[in-house]
Each structure stands twice: as C-alpha cells, then as structure tokens.
Structure 1
Amino acid sequence: MPDQIAAVREALSDMGEATPEQIARRFVRGRAVTVEPLMESLAALGQAEKGEDGRFAA
C-alpha cells in the first residue's frame, strides 16, 4: 500500500489537480474506487487538498 500511495501522490503532483477518475486512468489497473481512498489519505496527512467539487490538488 505505501507504493500505491506514493504512486498516486506522484501522479497528483504531476497533474497538479485531478479527480480520482483522472488519476485512476494513469494506471493500467486503476479504478476510481481504489484510488479515492488513497487520495483521501493523502488529504488527511496534509499532502493533498480536497476541493468541494471532488477534485484533489497537490
């Protein structure tokens, strides 16, 4: 799981801002339902910000 969080964090950093769906598309087996909890974790740790529109920012 740490590798997954790191990969999602890197993808979000590259994109600047994205929805879980947009991040999931960057991975071969990515699914928004799998990516979203990872993004929520990043937000809880202060490594991302979640907007009211469901988008996350690095």
Structure 2
Amino acid sequence: MKSNVGGIDKILRIVVGAVLIGLTITGVIGVWGWIGVLPLATGLINFCPAYQLLGINTCKLPKK
C-alpha cells in the first residue's frame, strides 16, 4: 500500500472520525455514527482505497 492521504486531509479524517464515534458513544446520534471508523482508520494508516481507484493523492510528492 502506497501512502495517498497526507497533510490537512489526514488531520480532517482523524478529527471527523473521532467526533462521529464520540457522538455515537454518547448517544447523540444513532448507529450510523460508527461510519466514523472509516475516516479514522484511513487517516491513521495514510491510505484510502477510494483515492487509489480515483487516482487521487494528497501526499506531498518527493522532489526528484
């Protein structure tokens, strides 16, 4: 797996995922809040399968 999530994208994924999970645990939103596991996981492992399919890469490319 080549890293394709970086920078602000990574931070937003982690924050949104954690907020959704937190709201679900506290009962503010329903079970659909567990979908927050996906952005949290992709932010933590720096890889998004959907980005790979779409050819998107938010990581900074190394200079050659």
Structure number with bigger Rg: 2
Whether the TM-score (by the shorter chain) exceeds 0.5 is no
Which structure has more RCO (C-alpha within 8 Å, separation ≥ 6)?
Answer: 2
Structure with greater proportional helix content: 2
Q: TM-score by structure 1 length? A: 0.32
Q: TM-score by structure 2 length? A: 0.30
Structure with greater proportional strand content: 1
